[in-house]
Chains A and B, each alone.
Chain A
Amino acid sequence: MSSVNYGSKRIVTGAGYGFRDWLAQRVTAVLMALFTVVLLAQVIFTSGPIGYEEWAGIFAAQWMKVLTFSVIIALLYHVWVGMRDIWMDYVKPLAVRMVLHVFTLVWLVGCAGWAVQALWRL
């Protein structure tokens, strides 16, 4: 190892986002788990068959829209951390990995936008 530790010879270790992302994955996971329970409870406690009216009715309530929106954003971050880890583990060439990162982000943001649009059309 070089005794010079500045400029282009500077050895920088750690990207600095590990703890934040580790915690964020758990926090978003708990939020999504709670959402699953809330949604499941509404489905289970609907008496009679669930047709369009009952199903769309669940997502028509303003509080449910806000909760679902929060979950969509949480999912965005959760999936990004997971996918970034996957690319980081298996794709070593930097150029290829960067392309995949961009693709992943565009895919996720597009999906989130579509879901939010569908949610607020109600």
Chain B
Amino acid sequence: MTELARKRPEFRNINALKDLPTYRLPAAGIVSILHRISGFLMFLLMPLFIWLFDNSITSEISFAQLSAAFGIGIGFVPGWFFKLLALALIWAYLHHFIAGMRHIYMDAFHAVGKEFGKSSAVATLVLSLGLTAVLAAKLFGLY
């Protein structure tokens, strides 16, 4: 290891407001906390997801109403807001799924090296954010 310009800082008693925002998280750390956040987000949005599922398979009328919700909206809630919620769900699912598969790969193949941790974390972020961007374009009618 190269010489350190200063003594490596120690973090005892982590202060959420002082230490967390200034700490540079490695790629694997970012993937990890986003894995947790995406899971929590999906937990919160679960009723929305089931409402979408319910309306989509119950009847042609409810299916049409659902399509309209994404177009002109329901009541005072505009269509683009539903699309944004759907996009949040899409990102959360994609990131959680890909990061989860990374977990299982590391478990099954004992791939716990530092280099692999970094490369697989970067791949996870690129893949999940890329797919989210593509699906966002589709959702908002860009193609």
Contacts and interface: CB of A to CB of B under 8 A. Distances in A.
Contact of A56 (B43, B57, B64): B57
Interface residues of A, number: 25
B57 A55 contact: yes
B45 to A, nearest CB: 10
Interface centre among B42, B50, B59, B107 (most CB of A within 10 A): B50
B32 to A, nearest CB: 12
Interface of A: 26, 29-30, 33, 36, 51-53, 55-56, 59, 79, 82-83, 86, 104, 107-108, 111, 114-115, 118-119, 121-122
A120 to B, nearest CB: 10
B104 to A, nearest CB: 6
Contacts of B42: 79
B53 A115 contact: yes
B46 interface: yes
Interface in B31-58: 36, 39-40, 42-43, 46-47, 50, 53-54, 56-58
Judged by DSSP, the binding face of B is helix
A56 B58 CA distance: 8
Nearest to A79: B43
Given A26-B104, A86-B36, A51 B63 contact: yes
Q: How large is the interface on B (under 10, 10 to 19, 20 to 34, 35 or more residues)?
A: 20 to 34
A33 B47 CA distance: 21
Contacts of A115: 50, 53-54
Interface in B97-130: 97, 100-101, 103-104, 107
A36 B100 CA distance: 14
B60 interface: yes
Given A86-B36, A114-B54, A30 B104 contact: yes
Nearest to B101: A33
A107 B100 CA distance: 23
Q: Lowest 6 A-B CB distances belong to which pairs?
A: A118-B54, A52-B63, A52-B60, A56-B57, A111-B46, A82-B39
Contacts of B36: 82, 86
B46 A107 contact: yes
Nearest to A72: B50
Contact of A111 (B50, B100, B104, B107): B50
A78 to B, nearest CB: 9
29 contacts: A26-B103, A26-B107, A29-B100, A29-B104, A33-B101, A51-B63, A52-B59, A52-B60, A52-B63, A53-B60, A55-B56, A79-B39, A79-B43, A82-B36, A82-B43, A83-B40, A83-B43, A86-B36, A107-B43, A107-B46, A108-B46, A111-B46, A111-B50, A115-B53, A115-B54, A118-B58, A119-B57, A121-B57, A122-B57
